[in-house]
Structure 1
Amino acid sequence: MLSAPVLAGAPAYLAAPAPSTPLGPFEDSAVSWASWATLMSFVGLVALALVVAAPARGAGERTARIVRTRLGWAAVVAGVLALPAVLTDQAHSASRTGYDYGAAWRGLFDGSGAGLLAGLETVLPFVAALLILPVVIRRALPARLVTGLRVAALILGVVGLVSTRIPTSLADNAGRTVFQTFMWILHLIGGGVWVGGLIGLVVLVAGSGLESGFWSPAIRRFSIAAMSCVAAISLSGLFLYWEHVDGPTQLLSTMYGRVLGVKLLIFGSLLALGAVNQFWLHPRIDALRAAGDERPLRTVLVRRFPAVVGVETVLILGLLFAASFLHGSARNQAFQADAAKHATGSVKKLPKLPQKEVSASTWIEGTAETAAVLVVTVAGYRFSGKLARRRVGRVRPAEG
C-alpha cells in the first residue's frame, strides 16, 4: 500500500470515501463464464482427440471408433453452444440494462477491428464444430482426412479463443502490447487444452467400454500436454501477477487480490491432484497393463481414476468461474484506497497508477522464472516416467 508522500503530486481531494471494488453482479460473471467455458472446452476436446488418436487406433477398431465418436460429439456440442454463449456475452456488454442481441449481431464483422474480432470469436467455433461433424457421423473415414478435419477445427477454435484478447490497436508501446497479448494467448491456450482435455477424459471414462491397452499410452500422452499447459499457465500467470499486483499483501487487502487468491488456491489444488496422477496413479496404471487385467489393483484404479479426473474437472471449471470475477487491478485498488484515505477534497474519479516500467532486472527475473518452470516440468515428467518403468519392471504378467 502506498504511503501519503507518494500522493504529493496528485490533485487534492476532500475526505472521499474509500472506492468501492465490488465483485460485480453474479449474472455478469455467469454469462462470461459460459462464454469462456465453451470456447476453451472446444479447443481442449479437439486437442485431446488428436493426442489420443494413435493409442486409440493401436487398441483396435472398436476402441478407435468409441474414442472418435465420444470426443467428436463432445466437441460438436461445445462448439455449437459457444455461439449462443459468446453472443449472449456480447449482447450483455452492448446493453447496460439487459441483453441487446440486435446490437451484438450487427457488431459482428461491421468493418471495424473490434467487429472483426467479435465476429471471429462468435462464428469460428461454430464453423469448427461443423468440420468435426463428418468425423462422428461417418463410420469409415480415412485416418488422414480425420486428422486434417481435426487440425483445421483446432486452428479455427484457437483463433476464435485468442480473438478475445487480441488488441484492436498497438497504442503507444507496441512492444509491450505484443508481449502482453502473447502472454494472454499462452494463458488461454494452456487453460483451454487443460480444461477441455479433462472434460474429454471424463467423457471417455463414463461408460468406459475401452480396451485396457488404450489407457496407459493415452494417459501418458495427455500428461505431456497437461504439463505443457501447466508450464504455459504458470509463466503467463507470473507475468500477469507482476503486472497487476504489487506484492503478496495486496492478495488480502484488495478485492482483486482476494479473488486472485481464491484462483491461486484452486490452481494449487489442481497441481496437487496432478502430482497424484503423475507420480502415483499413472505409474500404477502402467504396471497394471504389464501385469494383466485380473490383478486386484485394477479395481482400485478403475474406481480412483474417474474420481480424480472428475474432481480435477470441477476444480478447473471453478477456476474459470473465479477468473470471471477478476476486474481491474490490485495495484490501482490499493492506490485509490490510499488516495481516498489521505484526500482533502471531493472528486468523482480517483487517479490510476501508470503501467509498471520494465527494467533489466525484470527481464533477468522473468528469464530465471521461465527456466525454473521449464526445468521443474521436464524433471517431473522424466521422474514420473522412471517411476512407471520401475514399477513395470517389478511386475510380471499373471500366469494361468
Structure 2
Amino acid sequence: MRRRAPGALLLLLGLLGLWSAAGVATAPPAAAHAELVSTDPAEGARLPEAPDRVTLTFTEGVSLGAGYARVLDASGERVDAGDATVEGDSVVVPLRADLPDDGYLVTYRVVSADSHPISGAFSFAVGDGELVAADATAEAGDTDPVVGAALPAARWLGFAGLSLAIGVPVLLLTAWPEGWASARLRRMTTGGLVAVAVGAALSFVLQGPYAAGSGLPTVADPALLGPTAASGNGAAHLVRIVLVAALAVVLRTVWRRGSPALPDVLAGGVLALALVGTVAAVGHPVAGPMPGLAVTAAAVHVAAMVVWLGGLAGLLGGVLREDAPAADVARALPPFSRLAAGSVTALVVTGVVQSVREVGSPAALVTTTYGWVLLAKLALVLLLLAAAGVSRVWVQQHLGVRRPRPTPRRRVTAHAFSASSAEPERDPVVASAAGARAEAQAAAAAAERPALRRSVLVELAVGLVVLALSAVLVGTPPARAEVAQPVDVTLPVQTAAGQDGSVQVSVDPAAAGANTLHLYLLDERGQLTQPVDIRVTLTEEAQEIGPIDVALEPAGPGHYVGDGMAIPGAGTWTLAVTVRLDEFTAGTATTTFPVR
C-alpha cells in the first residue's frame, strides 16, 4: 500500500490539473481582447465642475492586476482618491473632492481576459483649465522592450521543453520500447522537464512587469508577484511547475525500472494531459466566442505538436544515431510514421479552427500583425509537411509491409516487427520470408540512415522555428480584435401601428473616421419603396455625443448613400433611421454597433 500511495497522489494531482483546465474552458465567453469603448467624462470634455469619479468602459471585463488607472493634474500630481476598482466591464477611479479648474489626464493600463495589457491616456478639463496633451506623460507607455522580448522566449522554452518531456516518452511507448535503456533519451526528457519548469517560472515573474509596463528590475517586486499569482494566467504557470515535478517522479521510477508498468502509464498520461491543459487554458482560447471549443482545439493542437516534434527529437537522439542497431530503425520508424501522420492531421484541423476564430476575416490576414505572423507560420508548416511527407513515403516504400494475398486461415501480420509478430511463425516458408524481409528492411535502414537523419533534422529545425512563431502569436492581440467589423443588418421599421416594411443598413468599415453608409428601404412585400422623407443620425450615449445628422444622397428608388459618413471615435454607436412613408405615417429603425 505504501508503494501505491505516491502513484495515487500523482494521479490525483493530474486530475486536479485537468479539472482546473476544464473550469477555465467552461468559463463565460469574453470578447477575445478588451478594448476601451467609452469614458465618463468623455475624451476632450470640458466640465463646469469636477466629477467625483472617472469611469472607463471596455468591451469585456478586465482586471487591474499589476496594472493601474490614475488621474493626474496638469503638473503631473495624482488627484485620484484611492485605488481604482473594477465594476463589471468598467474601471472606476475615485477623485478627490473640490478639485480646482484645471486640465486632467487619465492614464490606464489594465489586463484583458487573454492576459494582454491595454494601455492608453485621455484628458478632460474643468472650468477654464487647459486640456493636457495625452502624450504628456510616459506612464501610459508601451511594454518594456526587454520584457516584451523575454516573454516569447520563455514561452518558446516551455513549448520546446514540453515536446521533449512528453514527446520522447510517447515515442518510447509506441514505437521504440528498447529506448527506455538509453541514457541519452533520459537526459533529453529530463532536460525537457527542466525547460518546462524554467519557462513557466520565467513567464510567471515576467507577467507582472508585462501587465504594469515596467522593466526587468521589477520582476521580484511583491506588488507585482501577488496580483500575478491571483490571476488565472499566473495560477496556470504555478500549477504547471507542480505537474512537472510530479511527472519527473513518475519518469524517474520508469527509468530505474527500465520499462513502464501500467500504473506508470496511467499516472504519466494524466499528468501529461494536465500539462497540456495548463498551456491550452490560458491566453486567447479562454477569451472570445466558444471558449470550451477553443480550449479543446488548443489542447489537441499542443498535444499533437509535442508528440510530433518530441518524437523527431527522440529519433535523432536515439534510433537514428550511428551506433543504434539498424534493425531498431526498421522497427521504430513505421509506427512513428503512423503516429506522426495522425499528429499532422490533428494539427491541421485544429489549426484551421484556431485561425478562423482568431482572424475572423481574410482581410485581417494581411492587415494585422497577428495575420502576418500567422501567414509566416503557415508557410513554415507547409515546408514542414513537405519534409515529413518525403520521410513518410520513404518509410512506406522501404519499411512498410505489402499485404499478401489472402489464404485460408492464414494471414501475414501488418508489420513484421509489430507486437503480434512476437509469436514464432509456425509455417517455415512464411517464417523464412519474414526473416528475409526483416533483413532487407534493416539493410535499407542502414543504407539510408544518414539521409533520414538529415531529413528529420530539417523537420525538427523548422518545427522549432514554428514553435517560436507560436510563442509570438500567444502574446499578440488576435487579428479579429484589431479589425473593424462592417455592419450589414436588416431592421424593421416601427410605426405607431406596428411594423411597416424594413430597412437594410450597411456601414463599411464601421471604424472611426470616414465610412460608407448604404440604406435600402423595403415595403412589406420586400420591394424597394420611395419614402417622402428619410433622416439618419449617429449617437454615442455613454460619451454624450450626438445626435449627429448624416448627409444622404439618393442612389436609386429606395436606395440612399452616405458617402464619407464620419464617426468621431471609438465607442458603442447607435444609428437611427427616421422614415416618413407618407403624409400620415412615420417610422423608425435603430441598430447599435461597436467602433474600434
Whether TM-score is above 0.5 comes out as yes
Q: 2:478 matched to which residue of 1?
A: 329
Compared CA separation, residues 104 and 305, structure 1 to 2 (3 A): farther
Q: Which has the higher helix share?
A: 1
One-letter code of the match for 2:201? L
Kindly indicate whether the alpha-carbon contact (under 8 Å) linking 2:175 and 2:332 is maintained by their aligned counterparts in 1: yes
Compared CA separation, residues 245 and 289, structure 1 to 2 (3 A): farther
Query: Distance in 1 between the 2:370 and 2:228 partners?
Result: 33
> Any residues of structure 2 matched to 1:199-278 within 5 Å, and which?
199-205=313-319, 207-278=321-392
Q: 1:312 matched to which residue of 2?
A: 459
Matched position secondary structure for 2:456: helix
Deviations 1:51-79 (A, max 9, x none): 1245x3xxxxxx7633xx33332111111
Kindly indicate whether the alpha-carbon contact (under 8 Å) linking 2:286 and 2:295 is maintained by their aligned counterparts in 1: no
Compared CA separation, residues 123 and 279, structure 1 to 2 (3 A): same
Q: Structure 2: any 5+ residue segments left out of the alignment?
A: 1-36, 45-141, 402-434, 486-508, 516-565, 573-596
Shift of 1:193: 0.9
Kindly indicate whether the alpha-carbon contact (under 8 Å) linking 2:327 and 2:441 is maintained by their aligned counterparts in 1: no
Compared CA separation, residues 10 and 114, structure 1 to 2 (3 A): closer
Compared CA separation, residues 226 and 123, structure 1 to 2 (3 A): same
* Residue number among 301, 311, 320 corresponding to 2:448 in the alignment: 301
Compared CA separation, residues 281 and 53, structure 1 to 2 (3 A): closer
* Residue number among 151, 157, 171 corresponding to 1:34 in the alignment: 157
Matched position secondary structure for 1:279: helix
Taking only the aligned residue pairs, the percentage that are identical comes to 21
Query: Distance in 1 between the 2:445 and 2:225 partners?
Result: 56
Q: 1:119 matched to which residue of 2?
A: 238
Shift of 1:84: 1.7
Shift of 1:207: 3.7
Shift of 1:184: 1.1
Query: Distance in 1 between the 2:238 and 2:282 partners?
Result: 14
One-letter code of the match for 1:186? V
Residue 100 of structure 1 pairs with residue 230 of structure 2: no
Residue 65 of structure 1 pairs with residue 237 of structure 2: no
Query: Distance in 2 between the 1:172 and 1:255 partners?
Result: 19
Deviation larger for 148-157 or 104-113: 104-113
Query: Distance in 1 between the 2:204 and 2:436 partners?
Result: 49
Shift of 1:331: 2.4
Shift of 1:119: 2.4
Kindly indicate whether the alpha-carbon contact (under 8 Å) linking 2:297 and 2:350 is maintained by their aligned counterparts in 1: yes
Query: Distance in 1 between the 2:355 and 2:152 partners?
Result: 21
Deviations 1:275-331 (A, max 9, x none): 101113442245898374799855651111100111101111110101122212222
Compared CA separation, residues 221 and 101, structure 1 to 2 (3 A): farther
One-letter code of the match for 2:187? W
Compared CA separation, residues 202 and 341, structure 1 to 2 (3 A): farther
Q: 1:196 matched to which residue of 2?
A: 310
Kindly indicate whether the alpha-carbon contact (under 8 Å) linking 1:195 and 1:316 is maintained by their aligned counterparts in 2: yes
Q: Which has the higher contact order (CA 8 A, sep 6+)?
A: 1
One-letter code of the match for 1:128? L
Q: 2:248 matched to which residue of 1?
A: 129
Compared CA separation, residues 296 and 28, structure 1 to 2 (3 A): same
Deviations 1:170-204 (A, max 9, x none): 9999x922111111111111111111111111111
Residue 280 of structure 1 pairs with residue 452 of structure 2: no
Query: Distance in 2 between the 1:247 and 1:108 partners?
Result: 35
Kindly indicate whether the alpha-carbon contact (under 8 Å) linking 1:90 and 1:104 is maintained by their aligned counterparts in 2: no
Shift of 1:116: 4.7
Query: Distance in 2 between the 1:128 and 1:121 partners?
Result: 10
Shift of 1:263: 0.5
Query: Distance in 1 between the 2:152 and 2:455 partners?
Result: 27
Matched position secondary structure for 2:483: helix
Number of corresponding residues: 321
Query: Distance in 2 between the 1:13 and 1:33 partners?
Result: 40
Compared CA separation, residues 257 and 112, structure 1 to 2 (3 A): closer
Query: Distance in 2 between the 1:104 and 1:40 partners?
Result: 34
Matched position secondary structure for 1:342: strand
Compared CA separation, residues 214 and 247, structure 1 to 2 (3 A): same
Shift of 1:158: 2.5
Shift of 1:250: 2.9
Kindly indicate whether the alpha-carbon contact (under 8 Å) linking 1:39 and 1:125 is maintained by their aligned counterparts in 2: no
Query: Distance in 2 between the 1:126 and 1:104 partners?
Result: 27
Query: Distance in 1 between the 2:251 and 2:235 partners?
Result: 24
Query: Distance in 1 between the 2:38 and 2:201 partners?
Result: 41
Structure whose alpha-carbon radius of gyration is higher: 2
Q: Which has the higher strand share?
A: 2
One-letter code of the match for 1:183? A
Deviation larger for 235-244 or 292-301: 292-301
One-letter code of the match for 1:83? A
TM-score by length of 1: 0.68
One-letter code of the match for 2:248? A
> Any residues of structure 2 matched to 1:360-399 within 5 Å, and which?
none
Deviations 1:258-282 (A, max 9, x none): 1000110111111111110111344
Q: 1:3 matched to which residue of 2?
A: none
Residue 186 of structure 1 pairs with residue 186 of structure 2: no
Compared CA separation, residues 75 and 215, structure 1 to 2 (3 A): same
Residue 48 of structure 1 pairs with residue 166 of structure 2: no
Compared CA separation, residues 114 and 34, structure 1 to 2 (3 A): closer
Q: 1:342 matched to which residue of 2?
A: 514
Query: Distance in 1 between the 2:242 and 2:437 partners?
Result: 46
Residue 165 of structure 1 pairs with residue 280 of structure 2: yes
Q: Structure 1: any 5+ residue segments left out of the alignment?
A: 1-8, 15-20, 57-62, 353-400
TM-score by length of 2: 0.47
Query: Distance in 2 between the 1:172 and 1:84 partners?
Result: 26
Compared CA separation, residues 117 and 296, structure 1 to 2 (3 A): closer
Query: Distance in 1 between the 2:247 and 2:371 partners?
Result: 37
Query: Distance in 1 between the 2:227 and 2:246 partners?
Result: 15
Q: 1:375 matched to which residue of 2?
A: none
